[in-house]
Structure 1
Amino acid sequence: MVTIRTARSADAKEVAALLTEAFSGDPAWSLYYPDPATRPRKLEAHYRHRVQRHPRLTDLAELDGQLVGALLWEAPRSDSRPAAIWHAVKRATQRIASRMPGGRGIAHTLAVEVYRPKAPHWYLHDIASSPRARGKGVGSALLEHRLGIIDANTVTIASLEATSPGSRRLYERFGFEAVGTATTGTDTESTIMVRRPD
């Protein structure tokens, strides 16, 4: 049976390896790290740093005591004036950076941001399962766990980005609806999805 727990800083290396394996070929991440030779190393460093700094924002799935999945999430943003100013400054900086060489990843993030709800909401970043546990309901268990917490909260809106047809189908089963798309390559795009429980 798949069990879910909150990550600890000590899990960072193992979680980073799992997520790097899952997302090395992801079209959205390839915009940030276009060189396939260095992408795994950069992704691993990104994930390891994130989990080390914010372990409580990572749900882990285990099967027979082994790590088989992870979900990285972001809580609703504060709507205080200082927070609003901080996010406005961050967006302005991102707009400038997106126009510079190597800014395709940031430009993609800005394109996704357009479709995220304006109201406070949860954001589900990356959801992955280990290849050895595919077909065992790992992704569903992670989503059920996090969405259960979201539904028990005062803020129940959630948003995410589906970068493959398979992930989009999974999210649709959990009530997410497509609200827009963002280009990830010459012939590919990701789908921004929102879930608004009744």
Structure 2
Amino acid sequence: MIVVTPAEPGDLAAAASVLAEAFVDDPVTGTLLGGRGHDRPARARHLFVGLLRPVIADGTVDVARRAGEDDVLGVAIWEAPDAVTTIARLTAQLPSFWRACGPDNLWRALVTKRAVDRYRPRLPHWYLQEIGVAEAARGQGVGGALLDARLATVDGQDAGAYLESSTERNRRLYRRHGFVDGVPVRGIPAAPVTMWRAPASERVGRPARLTV
């Protein structure tokens, strides 16, 4: 049985390692990691430490484990509709981002974030920033359990949810959870596709299309 709970501060290292393993060869994330191929996993861990550390305390990072076990099998980073990202909060993570991207790719990471943010919906929504599953646990329903857990909260608030996906395989999973395809995000490698899940009160018949 897969159990999903909000991440605790003590989960930071394990959660970062799971996401690093899942995204080290991702067509978008991979372009942001500086250095040679052999140190990419370490750089990816630095990247996700920087992304995770400031938001774990918000209660919007979910981790999946087998019941009664400690190993983290999957991680999802969500941003709530009322989330506020301050400059001070981002600046505090610069050492981690520097170790991950290096001086050459840190600017590329900022350009990528700006490109992605231009496609975010105008209306309030939950944003699935990242979701990843440890290689040994893939195909066992971990990703679906992570989505189900947070989407129950989203539906309880009658809110929309939004994400971008770089692969067709992942988009099939998201479609099964009520997301519909939007448009490619131009200006970054692999042009990930936006996906939108309408609020529960609007999901009658075919889900509503996303307007950005």
Q: Is residue 194 of structure 1 aligned with residue 199 of structure 2?
A: no
Q: How many residues align?
A: 179
TM-score relative to the length of structure 1: 0.80
1:68 Cα shift? 0.8
- Which amino acid is 2:11 matched to? D
Q: Distance in 1 between matches of 2:116 and 2:196?
A: 12
Q: State the shift of 1:110 in Å.
A: 2.3
Q: Aligned AA for 1:75?
A: A
CA, structure 1 residues 180+153, in 2 after alignment: closer, same or farther (shift >3 Å)? same
Counterpart of 2:177 in structure 1 is 174
How far did residue 34 of structure 1 move? Answer: 4.5
Q: C-alpha distance in 2, partners of 1:47/1:105?
A: 13
Of 53, 71, 75 in structure 1, the residue corresponding to residue 76 of structure 2 is 71
TM-score scaled by structure 2? Answer: 0.75
The residue aligned with 2:118 is 114
> Does the alignment pair 1:143 with 2:147?
yes
- Pairwise CA RMSD of aligned residues? 2.4
Residue type of the alignment partner of 1:54: V
AA aligned opposite 2:182:
V
Give the aligned residue type for 1:41.
A
Tell me which stretches of 4 or more aligned residues in structure 1 moved more than 6 Å. Answer: none
Q: In the alignment, which residue of structure 2 is the partner of 1:160?
A: 163
**What amino acid does structure 2 have at the position aligned with 1:149?**
T
- 1:8 equivalent to 2:4? Answer no
The question of 1:61 aligning with 2:64 is answered: yes
Q: Distance in 2 between matches of 1:32 and 1:52?
A: 19
Structure 2 gap segments, 5+ residues each? 91-102, 203-212
Counterpart amino acid of residue 190 in structure 1: P
